[in-house]
Chain A
């Protein structure tokens, strides 16, 4: 047994920490969010130079190794800083779908571009009625000779307004919730019939609602086999689920730290509020929640990197998201409560962290969804 990071992992972690410390304080993040694209393209190019955009890809695809442990150690740091750059949608979701489903040609064309920072992607899977079920797909794809016509509405498309290519999950056959019949298509964001309504999420990241009206793509723009994408989609979303769980674990730890610090300096009744046992015990409980969250996320990442079967991996992912969701509620609510009124204001970073983790709690399924999935698998 060995829970220590390798030399390479330590270097990766230090590189992220250094960047955050130097270039990503709260004010800088606010400025980035207020900018037109809602993320910093300059940062994105730097991520490419630092090799971060290769982490999600296997060595065979020219990447850093696609280790889930590598991924979570980065996401943890991103979470602490509430990073808004579209790392998950472009490399984990978009890149993941290319890795899992792409042909040799498709991979060769797109994966190097992603890793070089030259391609932004978005994965359009969720729909108004799908909730968290990935096989609930009402968007249709109809083949006519060499072309395919796509119709439907997608919601919560992360990075949807900045991506040049959308990876659209659409149904080629079967009923709305059938596992069979689901395919993934590459669609240019500026293709006729695509309309994108952009907005900022509660967590500060850019997202969009995207409608597809008689959008024409070529049959060659399909990733993978006809109607056979669900397995790959689940695997990719599972990896992204672990990524956002780690992001949340990092944010929660930052909230705990800020709360403890604040309780030491905030004086009421002639003493620091951190001297009150009623608050001390609650902060201890926050600490315990953070440790449980961190541990179960690590467990999930280690399972993903292991030779376990697919069911065990999926169960580990759902266990992590389920438990992290609980920790999010407890830790984030207590952090605001202990800060008092000041924690409710837009000026304080802790409030933004509260909003961040509230978003992460439902991303790719909330606690109830993943508890039920864990039980059913």
Chain B
């Protein structure tokens, strides 16, 4: 048994590292380091850089323009991206709707949608949750009624991340009310520019309108935007949810943030003439975090090893989501603790593109609380951690 990479894998790791250090724009890295959000244009630009290298879609099969990488290569790529702070592709097109299109879309739909996703020409958002259908997603109500060659869609979706940028939305809609709730759901692609679609931004605790509520009022959607068969949408959606749970541990990003914590701790006065890296309580907390990261990394590597010999990721992958998100939130707390009074000012504008004012507080300190607030979402979205625990309880422990 060993956890070493092969010579080829090590060579690949060097190649990825060199590429990222040369091609991930320095100004983007500075922004990421300063907790400033990248704009839509910047995210798209970065995605196009990866596209030109042929690395836009590590998880796609080669026939659709994917890399054809092994599970280990994908892991290496994700790790190097995380370590340098390069944003992953916006997941809604690349990681969410694309796998469903590949598995269940018609040839015409694949030709129509996949190339633009790969090239980042079109921005997608996810239309799953509704105000009254969150963890209990199958109880969703947004209706699509067939009318000739169209569906007439009515209802609303919520928590649409970056919906304000989206050209298209993939939705779960109700097409049959007379059957068991899971059996009356269809998977429908809707052009966000259609008449009758409107959007309301939802401001989160960090003062940023990251998510939206989207309203559909008699929206006509061509029936050829339906994926697969009518009323089979729940089955397709479940496939997507499994994809959502891979790569979610965030170990590389965690390692990067741990390095930042250590650096900031060394630069932070403890008030008694020394620095926070010499504060034994804080030092222990950093050690605990590092230990937790190591344990999580090996859970992930064991999952990866199983994938490499052809086993499917099982319900155990819920562990990665639970531990990964809760550990990220622990680290948010440590950033807040280090920042102390410097993160009291509520200044979201200071961390938006184009801020011209006089910044308050050193470095990223004032953003620590904002990140702490925003990241409370981690244990709520993508299937809340309670739902993940239910999955393990049922599917692993047989309870």
The interface stretch among B10-18, B38-46, B247-255, B265-273 is B265-273
Minimum Cβ distance to chain A for residue B364 (Å)? 15
The interface stretch among A252-260, A305-313, A344-352 is A344-352
Decide: B376 and A333 in contact? CB cutoff 8 A. Answer: yes
Residue in B136, B204, B270, B369 whose CB lies within 8 Å of A268 = B136
Closest to B132 in A: A267
CB-defined interface of A333-348 with B at 8 Å, one 1/0 digit per residue?
1001100110111110
Residue count of chain A within 8 Å CB distance of chain B: 48
Decide: B346 and A341 in contact? CB cutoff 8 A. Answer: no
Is A173's CB within 8 Å of the partner chain B?
A: no
Q: In the assembled complex, which residues on chain B have CB atoms less than 8 Å from the CB atom of A372?
A: 281
Decide: A358 and B372 in contact? CB cutoff 8 A. Answer: yes
Closest to A359 in B: B344
Closest to A268 in B: B136
Q: Sorted from nearest, which 6 A-B pairs have the closest CB atoms?
A: A131-B271, A133-B271, A268-B136, A129-B269, A156-B341, A346-B203
Minimum Cβ distance to chain B for residue A83 (Å)? 17
Minimum Cβ distance to chain A for residue B82 (Å)? 24
Residues of B participating in the A interface, judged by any CB pair closer than 8 Å: 129, 132, 134-136, 139, 158-159, 202-205, 207, 211, 268-273, 279, 281-282, 329, 333, 336-337, 340-347, 358, 360-362, 369, 372-373, 376-377, 379-381, 384-386, 389
> Given A131-B340, A368-B282, does the pair A201, B271 have CB atoms closer than 8 Å?
no
Decide: A202 and B346 in contact? CB cutoff 8 A. Answer: yes
Decide: B205 and A346 in contact? CB cutoff 8 A. Answer: yes
Decide: A341 and B205 in contact? CB cutoff 8 A. Answer: no
9 pairs, A vs B, C-beta closer than 8 Å? A136-B271, A201-B345, A202-B345, A337-B385, A340-B134, A341-B380, A346-B205, A355-B205, A358-B373
Decide: A278 and B386 in contact? CB cutoff 8 A. Answer: yes
> Given A337-B380, A346-B204, does the pair A199, B345 have CB atoms closer than 8 Å?
yes
Decide: B344 and A207 in contact? CB cutoff 8 A. Answer: yes
Q: In the assembled complex, which residues on chain B have CB atoms less than 8 Å from the CB atom of A346?
A: 202-205, 207
> Given A202-B344, A359-B344, does the pair A341, B129 have CB atoms closer than 8 Å?
yes
Q: In whole angstroms, how far apart are the Cα atoms of A351 and B205 in the complex?
A: 7
Decide: A268 and B340 in contact? CB cutoff 8 A. Answer: no
Minimum Cβ distance to chain A for residue B331 (Å)? 14
Residue in A132, A209, A336 whose CB lies within 8 Å of B376 = A336
Q: In whole angstroms, how far apart are the Cα atoms of A345 and B205 in the complex?
A: 6
Q: In the assembled complex, which residues on chain B have CB atoms less than 8 Å from the CB atom of A290?
A: none
Residue in B272, B336, B341 whose CB lies within 8 Å of A358 = B336
Closest to A358 in B: B369
Decide: B273 and A354 in contact? CB cutoff 8 A. Answer: no
CB-defined interface of A240-258 with B at 8 Å, one 1/0 digit per residue?
0000000000000000000
Extra pairs beyond A156-B344, A278-B386, A346-B202 (6, CB < 8 Å): A177-B273, A200-B346, A202-B345, A341-B129, A347-B202, A368-B337
